[in-house]
Amino acid sequence: MLRIVEETVEAITPHVLGCDAFEELPDPDPRASVEFLDRWTAMGIPEFRAVSTLAFLALNVYSFLRTGRLFPRLDPDSQAHLLERLYRAKGMLPYQFLYFLSTPAVNAYYSRIDVQLLLGFDIAALKEESERRLVTRDGGPLPPRDAAAAPSGEVAGR
């Protein structure tokens, strides 16, 4: 992965996620976004990797044309301001562009077990329960259901 793409992914992560505004949401890990992008694009079709790279390069071109500096070199407020302009743009092209820019951060963050737990998806409890309630094709009674896997309530801290 190009160094500038890595830096841009890291720089854009907190802006895309907006978690700092909410105390109960864990801090994002920009490095995890880079690792996700690397893993994800390596598994996929080469064109996807190319488009994804182009999207991050295009953000830097846009940043340079508007501010004279590459996106990672801007201070956080200027980065946020630049992205706000993109968020406000309507139509399919900006939507797809933002999709590629935000995919690494969003995927890396919302696939975290602690974040999903906060939203009511208790992966560990469900996995544990499923291990105790294994189904076989030739029957046999299953152990009782576990209250831990019942639907969760509102997000903690709200």
Partner 1 sequence: MIHSRGEITGDLRLTADVVVVGSGAGGATVAKELSQAGRRVVVLEAGRHFTRDDFDLRMDRAFVEMYWDGGQVMSLGRPMFLLPQGKTVGGTTTINSGTCFRMPHNVLKKWHLDLGLWEITEEEMGLYYGAVEEYLFVQKADPEVMGRNALLFLEGAKGMGLSGGILARNAKDCEGYGVCCFGCPSDAKQSANVSYIPDAVKAGCELYTECTVDEIRVRGGRAVGVAGTFAGPGRRSAGPRVEVEAGVVVLAAGTLHTPRMLLAQGLCNSSGQVGRNLTIHPCNGTVAVMDTVVGNPKGIPQATYVDEFADEGVMLEGGTTPPLGIVMGLPYKGRRLAEFMRQYPRFGIFGGMLSEHCSTGRVVPHPRDPSRHLVTYSLKGEDVRKFRFMTELMAEVWFSLGARSIFTPTASYPEMRPSDLSKFKRQKAKASDYVAVSAYHPLGTCRMGSDPEHSVVGHTGETWDVENLFICDGSIVPTSLGVNPQMTIFALSMRNTGFVDDRLEELAGRKPVRNGEERT
Q: Which residues bind partner 1 (CB under 8 A)?
A: 15-19, 21-22, 24-25, 36, 39-45, 48, 80, 83-84, 87, 90-92, 95-96, 98-99, 102-103, 106-107, 110-111, 115-116, 119-121, 123, 126-127, 129-131, 133-137, 142, 145, 149-155, 158
d(CA 75, CA 64): 13
CB of 2 to partner 1, least distance (A): 19
Considering beta carbons, is residue 68 or 88 the nearer one to partner 1?
88
- Cα separations (Å) of 117 from 18, 29, 33, 122, 147? 18, 17, 19, 5, 15
3-state secondary structure of 24: coil
CB of 46 to partner 1, least distance (A): 9
Considering beta carbons, is residue 68 or 155 the nearer one to partner 1?
155
Can you spell out the DSSP letters for 111-150?
Answer: T-HHHHHHTT--HHHHHHHHHHT---TT--PPPPP-GGGS
Considering beta carbons, is residue 68 or 136 the nearer one to partner 1?
136
